[in-house]
Amino acid sequence: MLGDAAYPLSDHLLTPYPGRGLPLDKDAFNFYLSQLRVRIEQAFGILVGQWGILWKPLRVQFAGRCDLITALFRLHNFLRDEKVTPIHRSEEDAEVVQVRPHLLGDKTLPGTFSTTTKTTKDAQKPTRSGEVSTRKGITMMLDNKRQYRPKHNLVRNAARKT
């Protein structure tokens, strides 16, 4: 998962390097991480607009939310691939729909979903300024490929400071 600097870095959450005036490799990592987060937020915005289940707080255990979001993205992609026009409902329609708790019962999505094979004992503890191998590896790959923050972005940011 990707997060901003407000969250601690861990094996399961990539966050930017803290501080300003970072070396080129760390600044590049922060730039590309930020670009990815923007695209994810845009995609999630489309998803929220399409699926009414996301118009209200989720009634799914936290551990099952990844499965739910993954399923919604797959359904979204399937509909696009098959060129199916989705039915759009307004937010007012969602408010009228009655939730039927007797159908839901205590059922939730299973909480065993994981995108990693590491066990909890192998995982590094969250940290705000430390390092995990994933972030370090991505930073090294960007540096080896000389993939740094684009010059037009550096110029724009410098102009904002003056």
Q: Could you tell me the residue ranges of all domains in the chain?
A: 24-161
pLDDT at 107: 40
pLDDT at 38: 92
Per the CB < 8 A criterion, the answer to whether 29 and 142 are in contact is yes
> 144 versus 92: which is more confidently predicted?
144
The pair of three-digit structure tokens given for residue 73, joined into one six-digit string: 């993205």
pLDDT at 160: 83
Q: What is the pLDDT of residues 97-135, one digit of tens each?
A: 444 444 334 444 333 333 343 444 555 555 555 567 888
Using pLDDT thresholds of 50, 70 and 90, give the confidence band for residue 7.
confident
> 47 versus 114: which is more confidently predicted?
47
Averaged pLDDT, 4-19: 86
